[in-house]
Amino acid sequence: MKQRVGVYPGTFDPITLGHMDIIRRGAKLVDKLVIGVTTNISKSPMFSDEERLEMVRRECAGIDRQIVVTGFNALLMDFAESQGANIIVRGLRAVADFEYEYQMAGMNQQINSRVETVFLMADVSLQPIASRLVKEIALYGGPIQKFVSPAVRQEVEARVAELGRKGG
């Protein structure tokens, strides 16, 4: 039987408890989950590619599943093919996510019909969490501990302090 390989792509800037929920649940659906950490320059990342890779690897270390964390800077379907993936795992938080993800899944299906997209709804308590909002809250000195792990919180707060020193 062919191994089920899933790819969960994202910028993970930073990785949130919502991402971790999707990773834990997505890993149960496949034999191997490849977490593809990509750069989306339109999102102006707070952390470098290498920092995000390290952050995701550390956060996933305790999950008892076959998980590989790797960076990529290519078309998602080309990356999925290179990883031997037959499933793309995507998390959904709200209707707005669905519209975008539905369109992306349709485009990806046109590019490579051998790879299916599977949508997982984020846990209800985690649905409002978005990396963009976590960064915004942190930049204004707000509390982010409900949205990220303690280690990620420390990294985000340290980066905000560093940005404050550079900017002020």
pLDDT at 40: 73
Is residue 36 in some structural domain? yes
pLDDT at 167: 59
Q: Which residues are designated catalytic?
A: 19, 43, 93, 131
How many independent structural domains does the chain possess?
1
The rounded average pLDDT for each run of 10 residues, N- to C-terminus, in the chain (168 residues) is 93 96 96 93 85 97 92 95 96 82 90 93 87 94 96 97 75
Is residue 167 in some structural domain? no
Is the Cβ–Cβ distance between 67 and 23 less than 8 Å?
Answer: yes
Is residue 23 in some structural domain? yes
Is residue 112 in some structural domain? yes
CATH number for the domain harbouring residue 40: 3.40.50.620
Is residue 48 in some structural domain? yes
Is residue 52 in some structural domain? yes
**CB under 8 Å to 122, separation ≥6 — which residues?**
18, 21, 22, 91, 92, 93, 129
Look up the domain containing 25 and give its range: 5-125
Is residue 136 in some structural domain? no
Q: Beta-carbon neighbour count of residue 61 at 10 Å?
A: 9
Is residue 83 in some structural domain? yes
